[in-house]
């Protein structure tokens, strides 16, 4: 493919062109590249901004979520006017305004084992900005099966990690992948996601920018990518470490699997059977003095924002406190929006055979919006 830069592009990327090791050759490689970014949230925001600004020719964005006000603390692609809108579509629109020379393909859909290989096949590099283990293993396995480089990053509280997986070595072999480092996921609930455990708002900007740097290095062959190495950063202490990763001869990936089941979560068919009630039904139970128990699976700081005075048991600790959950009355489990409470019910029903649990649809935010407007929505 004969890639050329227009005079306007030459001016736009002048600072790249001035780098002797990078120059026009490197910029042309960026323009010829196709990068798939999975997730446009905390990591995806800085990653997408810098890849777009750098002049990647084609960027795919996979994200089926919508913008929530709580995202704005760290997801710098979005504003208050974007709340409720599609993340992937909103991101593409803003990024096009940043650099009209870049082409975007939006995948406003969940990344699953059924569509992963089909989506990935059209791209040179995949950048993983996800925040959950099922998708993280899926991205890794799909990249290995497709022969694609996986530029990985993760964040939690004050800590961030970056690495480059499945990198092609000079001898024709591939560098380590995510399963060489973590063959199996941790038990459900042991490692909370960012919604449950929190994340320092600036951390995704730091780590996402490093992730963008690794993508650019892989594309241009400039510098030394984090192949076989994991970079770890602690924002609280400003300490960094680089850990070596070696291929594990026992690692064998020959197909995509059910990643929800692999990570110890209920299969989707079972998830559909969870009993639910809406906030109006809950209010009727309260007004009628029905014998119910409310279980709040949020974190302590969330309880201080708004509460229904339920028994607070954080999701990560739910299986450690089953003695606090009644089996003799209707138990309504709630969180901020209904996602974590659904996960809690799945675990309790699977492991301890509870049959009296109900998920509060929309969570406490729905109650604050539809029932008690004096309560805070966050």
- Nearest by Cα to 299 from 194, 211, 170, 200: 194
Question: What DSSP string runs through 128-177?
Answer: E---SHHHHHHHHHHHHHHT-EEEEEEEEBTEEEEEEESPBPTTS-B---
Residues in CB range of 82: below 8 A, 6 or more apart: 67, 90
Check if 143 is active-site: no
Check if 263 is active-site: no
Bridge partners, 54 (sequence order): none
CA distances from 176 to 46, 146, 215, 245, 252 (A): 25, 15, 16, 7, 12
Exactly one of 194, 294, 325, 357 is catalytic; which is it?
194
Instruction: Classify the phi-psi angles of 278: left when phi > 0, otherwise alpha if psi is within -120 to 50, otherwise beta.
Output: beta
Exactly one of 265, 335, 344, 348 is catalytic; which is it?
335
Instruction: Confirm if 59 and 212 have CB atoms less than 8 A apart.
Output: no
Distance, in Å, from the CA atom of 228 to the CA atom of 20, rounded to the nearest integer, reads: 27
- Sign of the CA dihedral running 347, 350, 351, 354: positive
Catalytic positions, written as ranges:
194, 335
């Amino acid at each position: 493919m004969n890639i050329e830069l227009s005079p306007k592009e030459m001016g736009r990327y002048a600072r790249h062109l001035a780098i002797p090791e990078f120059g026009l050759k490197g910029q042309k490689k960026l323009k010829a590249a196709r990068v798939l970014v999975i997730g446009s949230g905390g990591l995806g925001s800085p990653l997408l901004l810098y890849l777009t600004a750098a002049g990647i020719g084609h960027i795919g964005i996979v994200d089926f979520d919508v913008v929530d006000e709580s995202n704005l603390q760290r997801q710098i692609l979005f504003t208050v006017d974007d709340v409720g809108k599609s993340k992937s579509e909103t991101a593409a629109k803003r990024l096009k305004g940043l650099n009209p020379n870049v082409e975007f393909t939006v995948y406003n859909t969940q990344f699953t084992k059924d569509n992963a290989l089909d989506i990935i096949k059209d791209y040179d590099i995949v950048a993983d900005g996800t925040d959950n283990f099922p998708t993280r293993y899926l991205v890794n396995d799909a990249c290995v099966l497709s022969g694609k480089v996986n530029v990985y990053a993760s964040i939690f509280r004050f800590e961030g990690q970056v690495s480059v997986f499945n990198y092609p070595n000079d001898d024709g072999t591939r560098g380590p992948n995510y399963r060489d480092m973590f063959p199996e996921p941790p038990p459900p609930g042991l490692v909370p996601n960012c919604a449950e455990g929190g994340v320092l708002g600036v951390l995704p900007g730091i780590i996402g920018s490093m992730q963008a740097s690794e993508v650019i290095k892989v594309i241009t062959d400039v510098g030394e990518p984090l192949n076989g190495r994991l970079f770890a950063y602690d924002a609280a202490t400003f300490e960094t470490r680089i850990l070596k990763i070696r291929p594990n001869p026992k690692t064998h990936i020959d197909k995509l699997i059910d990643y929800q089941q692999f990570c110890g979560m209920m299969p989707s068919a079972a998830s559909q059977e969870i009993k639910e009630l809406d906030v109006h039904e809950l209010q009727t139970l309260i007004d009628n003095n029905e014998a119910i128990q409310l279980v709040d699976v949020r974190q302590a700081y969330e309880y201080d924002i708004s509460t229904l005075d339920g028994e607070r048991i954080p999701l990560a600790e739910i299986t450690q406190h089953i003695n606090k959950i009644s089996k003799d009355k209707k138990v309504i489990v709630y969180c901020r929006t209904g996602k974590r409470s659904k996960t809690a019910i799945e675990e309790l029903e699977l492991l301890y055979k509870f049959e009296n649990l109900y998920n509060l649809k929309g969570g406490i935010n729905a109650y604050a919006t539809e029932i008690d407007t004096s309560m805070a929505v966050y």
